Amino acid sequence: MCVLGLGLIGGSLLRAATAAGYRAFGYNRGTESVRAATAAGFDADDDLTAVLTRAAAEDALIVLAVPMPALPALLARIAETAPGCALTDVTSVKGAVLDAVTAAGLRDRFVGGHPMTGTAHSGWEAGDARLFAGAPWVVAVDEHVDAGVWMSVMRLALDCGSVVVPARSDEHDTAAAAISHLPHLLAEALADTAGEVPLAFALAAGSFRDGTRVAATAPDLVRAMCEANAGNLRDMLDRSIKLLTGARDALAEHGSVAELVEAGHAARVRYENFPRPDLLTVTVGEPDWRAALASAGRGGAVIRSALPGPDNPR
């Protein structure tokens, strides 16, 4: 298994896969992270051609773990040196990555992925082999995906301790706008609003601390994921602004925030009670397996142990 990019996610993945018994190796452009990884006993290199040549020779699963802007150049190098390798990624926006992969001619062996985890920190040093433990890891079930590659990506996610949520890339991106990108912008707005009020920080307690936690994330990372999902995020901003404006007007006109508060509470309760049944009934590669997985994932089902498939008979 070959990780390209050893930041928080890629670095954690190199650690987790190594711990799970994979013969895992990584590439990073910056030599400092490579030195730190090597010193810690991991197999890392800053020579991209050497790493890709090795990946091709070992028929390794390649994991793209670089920021979006670095992706096209990296994909071009893969197309040159390791075009036959199975390919996945760990990026927070799936549509844009799929477009870039398609443009590079690498779609056939690509299955998108997204571990729904992270911290406010970044870089190799912030990584942790346990980062993925218990987290949902989306594995894409778009129409083109290959059953064999899908099995490999599913196994990697499970071996890192995640539960796998199958989802289409477009549905993932709409949902990610709602549960990841919008919360970041609401946190930024809350922090900025309170920052202008004397005494606010002096009184701030749990609801402010929790409500602004993700505003501590490095601005570049927040921008990268929000801006790569601009269309979906705009829709979610529109919905939230409409709800808040409605509450503002209701407060001004008849002193009540009942409508928003009751709807929000009901949604949070539904979330708390959202079922997470085991997904057990689909065989990867059977007719309509992609649609069956997408539908199960939408309903909350998660994969906790490897599904049957091409290399794993039921």
Interaction between residue 197 and a copy of itself (CB under 8 A): yes
Question: What single DSSP character describes residue 118?
Answer: -
Interaction between residue 23 and a copy of itself (CB under 8 A): no
Beta pairing partners, 222 = none
Residues 287-306 that bind a copy of itself (CB under 8 A): 297-300, 302
- Closer to a copy of itself by CB, 105 or 277: give it: 277
Look-up of token digits 């030195």: 35
Contact segment (CB under 8 A) with a copy of itself among 56-64, 75-83, 233-241, 304-312 equals 233-241
Interaction between residue 158 and a copy of itself (CB under 8 A): no
Interaction between residue 215 and a copy of itself (CB under 8 A): yes
Interaction between residue 240 and a copy of itself (CB under 8 A): yes
**What is the residue type of 50?**
A
Interaction between residue 270 and a copy of itself (CB under 8 A): yes
The CA distances from residue 37 to 43, 122, 188, 311, in Å, are: 7, 15, 33, 33
- Closer to a copy of itself by CB, 74 or 226: give it: 226
- Closer to a copy of itself by CB, 45 or 235: give it: 235
Q: In the bound complex, what is the minimum distance in angstroms from residue 290's beta carbon to a copy of itself?
A: 15
DSSP states along 13-82: HHHHHHHTT---EEE-SSHHHHHHHHHTT--EES-HHHHHHHHHHHTPPEEE-S-GGGHHHHHHHHHHH-
Q: How far apart are CA 212 and CA 198, in angstroms?
A: 17
- Rg, C-alpha atoms of the chain: 21
Q: In the bound complex, what is the minimum distance in angstroms from residue 104's beta carbon to a copy of itself?
A: 22
- Closer to a copy of itself by CB, 39 or 205: give it: 205
Contact segment (CB under 8 A) with a copy of itself among 61-69, 148-156, 212-220, 305-313 equals 212-220
Q: Is the dihedral of CA 225, 230, 232, 233 positive or negative?
A: positive
Among 21, 41, 143, 272, binds a copy of itself (CB under 8 A): 272
Contact segment (CB under 8 A) with a copy of itself among 8-16, 61-69, 152-160, 236-244 equals 236-244
Please say whether the beta carbons of 85 and 55 come within 8 A: yes
Interaction between residue 217 and a copy of itself (CB under 8 A): yes
Q: In the bound complex, what is the minimum distance in angstroms from residue 239's beta carbon to a copy of itself?
A: 5
Beta pairing partners, 3 = 26, 63
